[in-house]
Amino acid sequence: MRTPLIAGNWKMYKTVPEAVALVEALLRGLPAMDGCEALVCPPFTALHAVGGLLRDTPIGLGGQDVFYEAQGAYTGAISAPMLRDAGCAYVIVGHSERRQIFGEGDALVNRKLRAALAHSLRPILCVGETKPQRDAGQAETIVVGQVRAGLAEVGDAALPEVVIAYEPVWAIGTGDTATPADAQAMHATIRHTLVELYGMQAAEQVRIQYGGSVKPDNVDELMSQPDIDGALVGGASLTAESFLRIIGFRQ
């Protein structure tokens, strides 16, 4: 059985006081976390403050990105040991905004993912096609290619630490969600790719999140799909009320 993982990606939102207020509200309203895991990924500047509040609570902490070197002359970069030091257990890699706005390609994403694993951080590998790619019938090829490239040189033992987030680029921040059936179909394709790479038993353990305009009113149906094991939530993770409802999804 896979434990669903609901993660909030705060992106470039929340000053430290705002982040603290949001986490305090989340902790106040947190439902019983039976068989579900929750995670918040604040901006780097708020990690330390939020991490302090989340210690010994059921909500985990994640970074939004990581550089592949542990330390050095890399202005502006944050390393995996630094994220661990701030209390992170997870880190997002290859988010479509990193790929599209910051020009990150599959090879860089793979280096980041392997650096995370090397420092005991669980990577959330984001994959997803753009609208023109979907319209051209290339969605599966693109997504499978991103999964294979992202996992290059990742061995069998490390695979269960990896989370994959399928986020169709056209659904992110737009209010357009993939239908539960379309999302399920892509999740099944991703799982099939994992079976090819690692065998059935290992593939069955990997959590595959859906992301892209997940909201309180669509989370239940998405989470009822057999291969949807959680959600990566942007906009709706920025207020306690909506994120708490998503964490408390009903199947």
Q: State which residue has the least CB distance to ligand PGA.
A: 234
Phi-psi sector, 80: left (phi>0), alpha (psi -120 to 50), beta: alpha
Q: How many residues bind ligand PGA (CB under 6 A)?
A: 13
CA gap 65, 77 in Å, rounded? 9
| Residue 50 binds to ligand PGA (criterion: CB under 6 A) | no
For residue 59, the cross-strand partners are 38
Shortest reach from residue 184's CB to ligand PGA, in Å: 18
Query: Is 95 considered catalytic here?
Result: yes
| Residue 227 binds to ligand PGA (criterion: CB under 6 A) | no
Listed ranges 20-28, 41-49, 75-83, 211-219: which one lies at the site for ligand PGA (CB under 6 A): 211-219
| Residue 212 binds to ligand PGA (criterion: CB under 6 A) | yes
Contact (CB, 8 A) for 154 and 118: no
| Residue 211 binds to ligand PGA (criterion: CB under 6 A) | yes
Residue 188 has, within 13 A of its CA and on its CB side, a CA count of 8
CA gap 64, 126 in Å, rounded? 11
Query: Is 204 considered catalytic here?
Result: no
Backbone phi, then psi, for 126, in 5-degree steps?
A: -90, 135
Nearer to ligand PGA by Cβ, of 10 and 198: the residue is: 10
CA distances for 59 relative to 28, 47, 74, 248, angstroms: 12, 13, 31, 13
Nearer to ligand PGA by Cβ, of 18 and 204: the residue is: 18
Nearer to ligand PGA by Cβ, of 82 and 92: the residue is: 92
- Which residue is catalytic, options 95, 97, 104, 129? 95
Q: What is the CA radius of gyration of the chain?
A: 17
Backbone phi, then psi, for 41, in 5-degree steps?
A: -120, 85
Nearer to ligand PGA by Cβ, of 162 and 172: the residue is: 172
Listed ranges 77-85, 136-144, 151-159, 232-240: which one lies at the site for ligand PGA (CB under 6 A): 232-240
Structure-block tokens of residue 127:
């994959």
Listed ranges 52-60, 181-189, 195-203, 205-213: which one lies at the site for ligand PGA (CB under 6 A): 205-213
Residue 137 amino acid letter: G
Nearer to ligand PGA by Cβ, of 86 and 233: the residue is: 233
| Residue 172 binds to ligand PGA (criterion: CB under 6 A) | yes
Structure-block tokens of residue 231:
């959600």
Report the interface residues with ligand PGA, using CB under 6 A: 9, 167, 172-173, 211-214, 232-236
